[in-house]
Amino acid sequence: MDNITRREFLKMVGAGAALTAAGLAGCAPTPTVAPTKAPVAAPTAPVAPTIARPTGKLSVYSALNETTNNEFIKAFKAAYPGVDVDLLPMGAAGELQTRIRTEKASPKCDVFIGGSSEFHDPLGKDGLLEAYKSPNAATVDATFKEANGLWTGWYIGIFGFVLNTDRFGKEMANVKKPATWDDLLDPAWKGKLVYPDPIKTGGGYIFMAAQLFRFNKDEDKAMEYMKKLHANVAQYTGTSPQVIQLVSQGQFIGGLNWGHDILTTKAQGLPIELIVPELTAFEIGAVSIVKGGPNLTAAKAFVDWVLTPEAGALNVKLSNRASVRKEVPPAPGAPTLDKVKLVPYDRQWASDNKDRILKKWQAAVGM
Amino acid sequence: MRRISREPSVVITLALLVGLMFAFIIYPQVQVVLVPGLGGYVSFLAEQTWVKPFFNSLQVMCLSTTTAVILGFIYAYAMVYSKMPFKPFFRVIGVLPLLSPPFVVAASYILLFGPRGVISYFVFGQSPNILGLGGLWGVQTIAFFPFAYQLIADVLARSDARMEQAARNLGAGPWQVFRTITLPMARPGLLAAILMTAIYIVEDFGNPALIAGQFTVLPTQAYGLISGFGDVSGASVVSTILLLLALALYITKTRIEGQRSYVTISGRAGTIPRPPVPMIVNVFCFVACSLLAILILMVYGVLFVSAIVEVFPVKWTPTFKHFEFLTSNITPMQNTLVYGTVAAIICALFAMLLGFLVQRREWRGKRVVDFIAIMPAAVPGIFFGIGYATAFNQPWLDWIDRGALITISMIFWNIPVAYQAAIAGLQQIDRSLDDAATSLGAGSLRAFRDILFPMLDGALLTGFVTAFVRAVTTLSVVIFLFTPSTTVATIKIFQLINDFMWGGATAFTVSVVGVAVLVLVLVWTISGRRVGLQRTQ
C-alpha cells in the first residue's frame, strides 16, 4: 500500500486525518452532552417547576436577517444566561426546511425560526415538529398559530410594491402612484415592472393567490388580470430580494415585494419607496420546535421568549416586520394589518391548489 | 492494455478508489434519486412543468458551450503558442471568472450592462434587457470559458513541438500546421473541454438564478421548488433529469472519441522551441485576450468599487465600513481556505491515480467508473449537498466532523475536471514509456509514480487549480452541511446578499478572490520553477 503514489499523497492523507481528529475533538461531545444536561436541570429546581432553568447548548436554524440574528441572540442570552446558542443563519427559509428534512434521521436543530408559516406547516404535517403551545402565545390571535401548536406565528410581513422614486418622478410624471393592483395594468408601466417568479419564490405565489382571492376565486378573472399584468412585466426574477435590488439600482421602476424588506433597503439611503396597494396579502412569520432535537427544554424557553412583547418589539425595530402582538407598536412608516386593506386570504386553499394554479398561469401567459 | 489481475497492489488500490467513489458519489446520490418514489416521478413528469425548462437548458447549453469552447481555445492558443506579452497577467485573468460566487458576479453584470447599467446606459445610452437568454448566454460564456481554456491549454502545452517544426520544415504554412497538426493534437483536450463545459453549464444554478429572469432552466426550477415551496420531491426528479442528460452527453462523447490515439509525447519532449507564429496572430491573440481581460476586470472592478463606497450606485463616499463584516467573520474565511486547499490537493491526486488506472489498465466495469468520475459535474451542487446531508447525517455517523465532511464533499464534487485533465494528459503520453518501466520489472504503481506522474505536472496543476477555485466558491454543496463553526465564506456572502447588504457582500467577495489569487500565484510560482528545472535537465 505504501507505494501507491508519492510521499506527498501520504502526507496529505495524514493532514486530512489530523484535521478530522482535531475537528472531532472539538465537536463530538456537543450532541451527547446537551440532551443529558437538559433533564438534569429540572430536578435541581423542584420549587418552581414551571420556570426550570434551561441550560446547555441550543441549536437555532434562523431565516431572519443577519443583523436581527445577532441582536436577537444577544437579548435571549441576557434573559437565559445558562443557554449557549448555536445559531445557523440562512436567509432562505426553503433551504432550512429542506435541511431539517434531510437531517431527520439525526436531528441537529432545536428551533426553526423565521420564514413564513408555509415553510413550517409541511414539516409539521410530516411529523417532524414537536407540538408546543407556549403560555405566551395564549393571547395571540388563532389565525396566527397552528391549532395543535406545531408552529406559532410571531411576526407579520405585508406584501407591497417597491417604487424607484428617482425614475418614477422623471419618467412617469403624468402617472399616479399605484393605489390598487389594477393600477399596475396601466400601459405606462410596460417594461418597467419586475415580479419575483411565482414558480420559484414564495412571495411571487402569494401575490398571485391574493389576486385569486381578490376575484373571489374566479380563476378566469384572476388569470385575465395576470395576463394583462404580464404585458407590463419586464422580468420575472429568480429570487425575491433581486426585485428590490434591481429597482433600487434603477434598472426597473417598480416591483412586487415584501414591505419590510423594501423598508430595510430604503434605510440604506436608496431612492425607493414602499407602497401597499389595497387588497394585499400577508405572511405569518413562524417559530417551531424540531422533534427529537438535542435540547427540548431550552427550545421551549426560546419559543416562550420569542413570543414576549420585548422580543417582538426588538424584531420590529431590527427588521421592520410587525409583531402578532397588538401591544407592540409597528416600525415607523411600516404598514400594519389594521391600516392596510387585506384580501380574505385562505392559506390552506392557496397551498392545496398551488400546482394547479401555477400551471394555469403558465398556460395563460405562455411561459 | 495490461490486465491488472496479476498485481494485487493494483487491485487493492483500485478497489479502494472505487469503494470511495461509491461511498461518496453514488451512495449520497442514490438518496436523492430515491426521494420522490415511483409515484413522485410519474406525477411530476406527467405535469410537464419540466418540459420548457428542459429545452431552455438544452438551448443555453448548446449556445454557451460553443462560444465558451471557442473562447477557451483562443485563450489557450494565445497562452501556449503566441509571443504575446504579459502572459502571467493573462493567466490570472483566465481563472478569475471561476473565482467568485456566481450570484455576485451576475449581479455585477447587471450593474454594468443592465437597463440602467454603467456601460450600457450611461456610456452608450442603451437600455438593453439583459435578463433572459441573451444575458445568460453571455455570462455563461465568460464564466465557463476558463474550464475549456484550462483543459485545452494543458494538452496544447504538452503537444510535441517537433511535429510542428517538422511540418514547417517540410514547407507547410502556419495555417496548414494549425489545421493539420495543432488542432488534431488538441482533440483529447477539446473533447474533454466540450463535455465538461456543456455539463457544467447545464448544471449551473447561480448565473441563471440571477440573470436568466423568467427563462427558467432545470437547475433554477429545481432550486425554486426547494427554496420557494420546500418541494424536495419534485426537485429531485429535476435533478435526475439532469443526470440523464449528462449520461447522454457522456455517451455521445465516447462515440465521437472512438479508438483514436493521441500520443504526442514519446520521451524527450519540450527540448525544441515551437515554430514562431506570424506577427498578425500574435497581435490578434493579444487584442482578443486584452478585450476579454478588460471585460473581466470591469466586472471585478464593480465589485471592488461597491466594497469601498458607502452605497454603490447612490452614495460614492469612500469607506472601509463594509470590511467590518470581514473582521467579525474571520473563521469562515479560514475555513474556506483550509477546506479548499486540502480538498483540491486530495482531489487532484485522486483523479490522477484513477485516470491512470482507467486509461492504462484493462479491467471490467471501467466504462462505468469512468462515467462515475464525471457524474458529479452533472449533479447540481444543491443535490450533491442534499445527498450528503441525507446519507451522512445518521446517528451512527455523528462522530464525523463536519469540516471533514465538507472537505470530502468538495473533493468528490470536483473530481470531474481533475479527472478529465488527467485522462487528456495520459492520452498524450506514449504507452511505451510506462511499458518499458514495467518490462524492466517495475510494478504498475511504481511505473505510475516514477514515470507518468512527473510528466503529468500540468494536468495535476489543472486539477488542483480548478478543484481549488470551485471549492472556494461553492455555495450550494455546503449549504446543507455547514454548522456555525464550519461556515464558509460563500455562505456568509449569500447571507449578506439576502439581507440587502451589497457592500458587505462585495467586501467579502473581493477578499476571498484576493486571497485565492494569492494562493494560486504562489502555487504557480512554485510549480513553474519545478517545471522549469525539469525542462533544463
> Over chain A (367 residues), what is each successive 10-residue block's mean pLDDT?
44 45 41 39 39 83 86 92 90 83 90 91 92 92 91 93 94 91 94 88 90 94 95 86 90 93 88 93 94 94 94 91 88 81 89 85 83
C-alpha cell at A92: 432562505
**Distance from the Cα of residue B528 to its chain's centroid:** 21
Indicate whether A225 and A352 sit together in one domain. yes
In a domain, A250, yes or no: yes
- pLDDT tier, B116 (very low <50, low <70, confident <90, very high otherwise): confident
Indicate whether A289 and A343 sit together in one domain. no
Q: How many CB atoms lie within 10 A of CB B338?
A: 16
In a domain, A35, yes or no: no
DSSP state at residue B319: -
Tens-digit pLDDT profile for residues B136-151: 998 899 888 988 898 8
Residue B289: is its pLDDT beyond 90? Answer: yes
Q: Give the CATH number for residue A72.
A: 3.40.190.10
Nearest to A91 among B129, B482, B495 (CB): B495
User: Which of B496, B499, B523, B526 is most worth mutating to test chain A (most A CB atoms within 10 A of its CB)?
Assistant: B499
Runs of H (alpha helix) within B309-401: 324-327, 330-360, 366-378, 381-392
User: Could you give the count of Cα atoms lying within 13 Å of B279 in the half-sphere of its Cβ?
Assistant: 0
Indicate whether A215 and A235 sit together in one domain. yes
Q: What is the reported pLDDT for B102?
A: 66
Q: Does B11 touch chain A (CB under 8 A)?
A: no
Residue B277: is its pLDDT beyond 70? Answer: yes
Q: What is the reported pLDDT for A230?
A: 94
C-alpha cell at A157: 410581513
- Beta-bridged to residue A156, according to DSSP, are A284, A322
Q: How many CB atoms lie within 10 A of CB B79?
A: 20
Determine whether A165 is exposed, middle or buried from the number of CB atoms within 10 Å of its CB (0-12, 13-18, 19+): middle
CA proximity to A65, closest of A260, A313, A330: A260
Indicate whether A66 and A122 sit together in one domain. yes
Residue B450: is its pLDDT beyond 80? Answer: yes
CA proximity to B377, closest of B333, B421, B334: B421
| Chain B contacts in chain A segment 243-272 (CB below 8 A) | 244-246, 249-252, 261, 264-265, 268-271
In a domain, A102, yes or no: yes
Percent of chain B with pLDDT over 90: 18
Indicate whether A351 and A212 sit together in one domain. yes
Indicate whether A271 and A226 sit together in one domain. yes
Contact A19 B445 (CB under 8 A): no
Indicate whether A135 and A225 sit together in one domain. no
Domains of chain B: 2-316+325-536 (1.10.3720.10)
What's the structural domain count of chain A?
A: 2
Name residues whose C-beta falls within 8 Å of residue B128's C-beta, 6 or more positions apart in sequence. Answer: B113, B114, B115, B117, B120, B134
Q: What is the reported pLDDT for B362?
A: 83
Helix (H) / strand (E) element for B142: namely helix B133-158
Question: B391 CA to chain A: closest CA distance, Å?
Answer: 9
Assess contact for B333 and B511: CB atoms under 8 A. yes
Indicate whether A162 and A269 sit together in one domain. yes
User: Cell 481555445 appears where?
Assistant: B73
In a domain, A46, yes or no: no
CA proximity to B349, closest of B456, B441, B257: B456
Contact A200 B227 (CB under 8 A): yes
Residue B306: is its pLDDT beyond 80? Answer: yes
In a domain, A211, yes or no: yes
- Taking residues B200-217, what's their average pLDDT? 83
Distance CA B346, CA A10 (A): 10
Q: Does B438 touch chain A (CB under 8 A)?
A: no
Indicate whether A344 and A236 sit together in one domain. yes
User: Could you give the count of Cα atoms lying within 13 Å of B462 in the half-sphere of its Cβ?
Assistant: 33
- Amino acid, res. B298: M
Q: Which residue has the higher pLDDT, B375 or A150?
A: A150
> Which domain covers residue A140, as residue numbers?
53-156+283-323
B142 vs B109, B209, B380, CA distance in Å? 11, 16, 20
What is the pTM assigned to this prediction?
Answer: 0.80
Q: What is the reported pLDDT for B536?
A: 29
Which chain B residues touch A12 with a CB distance below 8 Å? Answer: 342, 345-346, 349
Q: What is the reported pLDDT for B260?
A: 60
Tens-digit pLDDT profile for residues B44-65: 888 777 888 899 999 999 999 9
User: Which of B110, B475, B498, B526 is most worth mutating to test chain A (most A CB atoms within 10 A of its CB)?
Assistant: B498
- pLDDT tier, B288 (very low <50, low <70, confident <90, very high otherwise): very high
Distance CA B302, CA B109 (A): 9
Q: How many CB atoms lie within 10 A of CB B284?
A: 17
Q: What is the reported pLDDT for B265?
A: 57
Q: Does B30 touch chain A (CB under 8 A)?
A: no
User: Mapped to the 3 state alphabet, what secondary structure does A248-311 carry?
Assistant: HHCCCCEEEEEHHHHHHHHCCCCCEEEECCECECEEEEEEEEECCCCCHHHHHHHHHHHCCHHH
Which chain B residues touch A22 with a CB distance below 8 Å? Answer: 401
Please state which of the ranges A339-343, B200-204, B324-328, B524-528 shows the lowest mean pLDDT: B524-528
Assess contact for B412 and B449: CB atoms under 8 A. no
- pLDDT tier, B531 (very low <50, low <70, confident <90, very high otherwise): very low
Q: What is the reported pLDDT for B266?
A: 54
- Taking residues B102-120, what's their average pLDDT? 81
In a domain, A185, yes or no: yes
In a domain, A41, yes or no: no
Q: Does B357 touch chain A (CB under 8 A)?
A: no
Assess contact for B148 and B201: CB atoms under 8 A. no
CA proximity to B93, closest of B81, B78, B82, B107: B78
- Residue-wise DSSP of B197-256: HHHHHHH--HHHHHHSTT---HHHHHHHHHHHH--HHHHHHHHHHHHHHHHHHHHHHHHH
Tens-digit pLDDT profile for residues A55-100: 889 999 998 887 788 889 999 999 999 999 999 988 778 888 888 9
Indicate whether A355 and A243 sit together in one domain. yes
Nearest to A235 among B213, B315, B352 (CB): B213
φ, ψ for residue B443 (rounded to 5)? -70, 165
Assess contact for A88 and A109: CB atoms under 8 A. yes
Indicate whether A186 and A263 sit together in one domain. yes
Q: How many CB atoms lie within 10 A of CB B173?
A: 11
User: Cell 461597491 appears where?
Assistant: B306
Indicate whether A102 and A71 sit together in one domain. yes
Q: What is the reported pLDDT for B268?
A: 47
In a domain, A134, yes or no: yes
